[in-house]
Amino acid sequence: MFGVSRDEISLIPELRAGRARQGEQWTVSEVNTAARELVEGVFPPLWITGEVTNFTRARSGHCYFTLRDESSQLRCVMWRDDAARLPTLPTEGMAVRVFGRLTVYLARGEFQLTVSTLEGEGEGLWKLALDRLRQKLEAEGLTAPHRKRPIPRHPEVIGVVTSPGGAVFHDIVNIVRRRAPWTRVVLVGCRVQGEGAAAEIAMAIRRVVDAGIADVLIVGRGGGSVEDLWAFNEEAVARAIAECPIPVISAVGHETDITIADLVADLRAPTPSAAAEAAVPDRVELARTLARDEWRLRAAIATRLVRAVEKARDAGTSLARSGENLLATRRTELRTAVRQLEALSPLAAFSRGYAVPLREGRILRHREEFTPGLNFDLRVGGGVVPCTVDALSPAADSGSAADTGKPAPAASRRKRGSKGLSDG
């Protein structure tokens, strides 16, 4: 397993003992250097399992911790470049496995392990990092259902953020052409895995927003390991999706892969192909829907037209009936008014035999107004009779109609005229 056998390791103290017997002296640096050469020469890089304790990250970015089991412990160091690849920092007591090289720290003569890879047992660090970020975003409300926006039913332009060299973009284009060939697809390429991929994905999303041409955005990639998909679990991508004013469909990996991008996006598609199907309608189904809607519209218009004609006919009949009733009512009211006016008219008295003496348009009401030789008109039923006063009746007749000012019956006037009045 190692570069030398256990027997060769047992001979090393004897080989070094010869120099000590000759009285030679070693410096501390020489001892530490020899020890480091010995350790590094004997032990190749190896995997070691244990529990993490006292994990710290220095300002320089280097990480220091201790790996322990039931009976021993081992000091470990992880340099900045290797530590930058960690999805998150391990928790106290977390079971991990590390890959590194055993060495001796010369300045202190300390035996330690220089770690290049640190993994949690089982889902380990990846799940821990995922849970931490999910809890943080949930606390901010970025994964809340009420934030989810509906996907446009008929987008004119679809933006796609993915690798330009992968099969994902070609699958999306083929599906869109088959289902909705009138829809444009715009690619903003970026790396989707590896160091710095998350920053590129976030920048690509913002470029689509700045262009202002897309109605919906698909962000995704094909399947892979947890490490391959990890860029879509980083906070930079999650916040770029949450801040995007365009509805976002997340399509990362396969159906069983769930990422932070899926939780923040407006719609999660199990695969990139499913995302393309969710983004555009199927033209065949759309044609069926349009035909069905056309039939329903025609039927609705015909029904409304029939109802409108019937309503107009009923309204015309009702209006004519109302007009006839109103006209009959008005005629009745008019006849009643005419009778009332006729009853109140002075001319009605003439038809009952009354007469009115007039002189120059003025009614002569009193006996004193009549003098011998006075010419006046007598208004009777049917016209006016010119009259002249020949003489006045005796004063004993002062209680007659002429003395009281009330019209006298025409028969009486004619009787008096035969005695004292003559027609002109």
In the 8-state DSSP scheme, what is residue 151?
P
Per-residue confidence (pLDDT) for residue 70, from 0 to 100: 85
Contact between residue 251 and residue 222 where contact means Cβ atoms under 8 Å apart:
no
pLDDT along the chain (424 residues), means of 10: 47 50 77 90 90 90 90 92 86 86 91 90 74 89 91 93 91 93 94 91 95 94 85 93 95 84 93 92 83 87 89 86 88 86 71 82 86 87 86 62 43 37 36
Tell me the one-letter amino acid at 302.
Answer: A
Per-residue confidence (pLDDT) for residue 395, from 0 to 100: 61
Laid out side by side, the sheet with 157-162 consists of 184-189, 157-162, 216-221, 248-252, 267-268
**Greatest pairwise CA separation for the chain in angstroms:** 198
Contact between residue 193 and residue 249 where contact means Cβ atoms under 8 Å apart:
no
Per-residue confidence (pLDDT) for residue 202, from 0 to 100: 95
Q: Which residues is 321 bridged to in the sheet?
A: none
Per-residue confidence (pLDDT) for residue 12, from 0 to 100: 54
Contact between residue 129 and residue 187 where contact means Cβ atoms under 8 Å apart:
no
pTM, 2 dp: 0.54
Q: 251: Cβ–Cβ under 8 A, 6 or more apart, which residues? A: 168, 218, 219, 220, 221, 268, 269, 270, 271, 272, 274, 275
Per-residue confidence (pLDDT) for residue 15, from 0 to 100: 46
Per-residue confidence (pLDDT) for residue 198, from 0 to 100: 93
H helix intervals, 93-166: 124-139
Per-residue confidence (pLDDT) for residue 188, from 0 to 100: 94
Q: Is 321 helix (H, G, I), strand (E, B) or coil?
A: helix
Per-residue confidence (pLDDT) for residue 317, from 0 to 100: 86
H helix intervals, 22-166: 28-42, 80-83, 124-139
Per-residue confidence (pLDDT) for residue 64, from 0 to 100: 94
